[in-house]
Amino acid sequence: NAGVTQTPKFRVLKTGQSMTLLCAQDMNHEYMYWYRQDPGMGLRLIHYSVGEGTTAKGEVPDGYNVSRLKKQNFLLGLESAAPSQTSVYFCASSSGRWETQYFGPGTRLLVL
């Protein structure tokens, strides 16, 4: 039981490039979340999903897109990366709205 995994662990992009971050969970959780963590800002919710095929905007959704084609996977896409998107990205999942969120190890993204 791996829990929540994220790939890649680290990535460097040039401004304007695109990339997709993958989150996978093996706990059969309905809810999945993408956060970014920046110094002094704490964790901020980007997008989330309450089930396969659904997505919703969080606190800071601009510049990101997501897809939840399979229950176990939640993808975060950056279509045209900007230096302001340099951050550490965390994925989390939970079995329900009121249940504990379990986090992945994070992806460090540097946009030059």
Helical H segments across the chain, by residue range: none
Q: Which of 65, 73, 86, 101 touches another protein by CB under 8 A?
A: 101
User: Which strands sit side by side in the sheet containing 65-67, from one edge to the other?
Assistant: 4-7, 19-25, 73-78, 65-67
Q: Is 62 in the site for another protein (CB under 8 A)?
A: no
When binding is defined by CB under 8 A, the residue of 12, 18, 26, 56 that contacts another protein is: 56
Distance (Å, whole) CA 22 – CA 41 = 23
Tell me: does residue 69 bind another protein (CB under 8 A): no
- Contact window for another protein (CB under 8 A) among 18-26, 32-40, 61-69, 71-79: 32-40
Site string for another protein, 4-23 (x = CB under 8 A): x-------------------
Nearest-angstrom CA–CA distance, 4 and 15: 29
- 42: contact with another protein by CB under 8 A: yes
User: Would you call 84 helix, strand, or coil by DSSP?
Assistant: helix
